[in-house]
Every structure is written in C-alpha cells, then in structure tokens.
C-alpha cells in the first residue's frame, strides 16, 4: 500500500490549480466580464425616486441654457400653487441672477447642476468638487441658501461623482420619469407619458427651455393633482433620517 504525504506547499499548489480551473470554467460559461463584475466595487447610485406611502411627487427643471421660458414656467407654477425644484448651473446663475431671486422668492428649490455643465465622470475628483462648490457659492450669494441637492449634467455620473456630492453633504438626484420635452412631443402625448409612470415618490425631469414644457405643464399639473397627488420640491420629497438607495435607485428607510 502506498501513502501520500501532503505538505503545506503541495496543498497550496493544489488549491491554486483548483482555483484556476474553476475560473476557467466560469469564464467559459459566463465570460470574463461576469468574473470582473463580482470583484468590482458596488456601483453607487443617486436617488431616482423615493419610497413614499403618501401621494407626493416632484417636478424638476434642468436649467442651463437660455431664459425664454423660465418666467412662463414660474407663472404656471404660481397659478397652480406648486413648488418645484430648479437645477441651475453656476454660469446660468451669473447670467440670470434676477430669475434666480424669483425662483427662490416663490419658494422653489434652487439647486446645483454644476458650475459649467461638464460630463462629470470625465473630470477628476478635484474638478468634480470644484464644479459643485463653485455653483453652490454662486447660488448662496443670491439666495442666501446653500443647496443640498446636486444633479449631474446629462444625468452622467459614476461612483466618484456620487461620492463628491456626498462628501459635500449633498444628495445626488436623478429622476425616474423623463418627460422627453426636448423631443417636442405633443402636449397630449407628453401628459399621458407622465401620468402613465406616475407613482408616489416620483421625480419628474423637465427642462426650462423646452417649448413642449410650456404647452403641457398646465394640463399635466392639473391631471397630476386630479389623481390626488401633491407636487412638492425634492427637498420635501426626500426621507429624513437614515436611508438606503436600492437597486432601482429608490430612497428607502434603513431597516
């Protein structure tokens, strides 16, 4: 009878062979991308919507170019007694300070959309922080308030962008309903699109420079309110206390 003595060195070599073999099988069945995904850092997500039991939603307006429709939007919001959230760039704040005062004076959130509207993942962490702080300073100079909400231009973000906002004590905000107002849909189609996706805690994306927004907004707000919803700024939509962001980007209470 023969006996085999397994030393630590032999056991380590055997274990390495087993691991390499297992990886080879997994790559063969799933591809290398699946293996890399298991060891990559978890993706950090902005808040796309909020888990709410009550029927509250938010209208948000990305505000970076031009001012032709903004006053009309403010008038419509005032007519329907609605408060919303405007994400403005620092450059826009500099160009239209009186409009920023009007937004804030009417009780709307005036929030951070970066300073110069870059693709944030394409700049380094230092520049990301500079983009956010630069816009914050311009907004505070006019409104006296420091924004707590940040939205990445183009909706383009990565872990570093979310971390930059969080490092500054801010929430990174996306949306779960896109109006596609920039595609100039008919008012009826745009309104129906919004209503078909509406649920408690929804965050709706609109733009201040889209003609379709002006044409659709009155009927859309009336329909949303007709469904029993209250429209509030994002700052009032968010949960207070400890929270998590689930795999769908929904802010939920921490268990």
Distances (CA, A) of 250 to 30, 57, 112, 202: 29, 13, 20, 9
Whether the full predicted model's pTM is greater than 0.95, yes or no, is: no
Report the DSSP pairing between strands 203-207 and 243-245: unpaired
Q: Report how far apart the first and last C-alpha atoms of the chain are (Å, whole number).
A: 60
What does the pLDDT average to over 45-53? 98
Whole-number percent of the chain with pLDDT over 90 = 82
- For residue 27, pLDDT over 50 is answered with no
Write down the pLDDT at residue 41.
56
Tokens at 240, concatenated: 């207070």
Tokens at 177, concatenated: 């309903």
What does the pLDDT average to over 119-140? 98
Residue (of 155, 152, 186, 149) closest to 168 by Cα position: 149
- For residue 116, pLDDT over 80 is answered with yes
Report, as residue numbers or ranges, the catalytic residues: 62, 207
What does the pLDDT average to over 189-204? 98
Cβ atoms 231, 221 nearer than 8 A = yes
Cβ atoms 125, 147 nearer than 8 A = no
What does the pLDDT average to over 42-52? 94
Task: Note the pLDDT tens digit of each residue in 175-185.
Answer: 999 999 999 99
Cβ atoms 142, 104 nearer than 8 A = yes
Domains of the chain, each with CATH number or no CATH = 8-39 (no CATH), 49-253 (3.20.20.370)
For residue 18, name the pLDDT band (cuts at 50, 70, 90). very low
Cβ atoms 135, 143 nearer than 8 A = no
What does the pLDDT average to over 45-59? 98
For residue 42, name the pLDDT band (cuts at 50, 70, 90). confident
What does the pLDDT average to over 36-40? 40
- For residue 21, pLDDT over 90 is answered with no
- For residue 38, pLDDT over 50 is answered with no
């Amino acid at each position: 009878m023969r006996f085999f003595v397994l030393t630590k060195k032999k056991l380590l070599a055997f274990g390495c062979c087993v691991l390499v073999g297992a990886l080879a099988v997994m790559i063969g069945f799933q591809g290398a991308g699946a293996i890399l995904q298991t060891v990559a850092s978890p993706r950090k997500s902005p808040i796309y919507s909020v888990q709410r039991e009550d029927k509250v939603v938010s209208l948000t307006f990305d505000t970076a170019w031009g001012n032709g429709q903004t006053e009309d939007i403010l008038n419509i919001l005032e007519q329907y007694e609605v408060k919303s959230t405007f994400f403005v760039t620092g450059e826009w704040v500099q160009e239209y300070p009186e409009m920023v005062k009007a937004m804030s004076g009417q009780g709307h959130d005036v929030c951070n959309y970066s300073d110069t509207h870059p693709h944030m993942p394409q700049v380094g962490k230092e520049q990301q922080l500079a983009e956010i702080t630069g816009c914050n300073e311009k907004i505070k100079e006019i409104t006296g308030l420091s924004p707590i909400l940040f939205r990445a231009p183009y909706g383009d973000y990565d872990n570093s962008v979310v971390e930059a906002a969080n490092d500054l004590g801010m929430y990174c905000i996306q949306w779960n309903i896109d109006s596609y107002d920039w595609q100039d849909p008919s008012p009826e189609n745009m309104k129906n699109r919004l209503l078909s996706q509406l649920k408690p805690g929804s965050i709706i994306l609109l733009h201040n420079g889209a003609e379709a927004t002006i044409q659709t907004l009155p009927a859309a707000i009336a329909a949303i309110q007709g469904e029993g919803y209250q429209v509030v700024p994002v700052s009032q939509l968010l949960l207070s206390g400890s929270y998590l962001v689930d795999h769908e980007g929904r802010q939920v209470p921490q268990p």
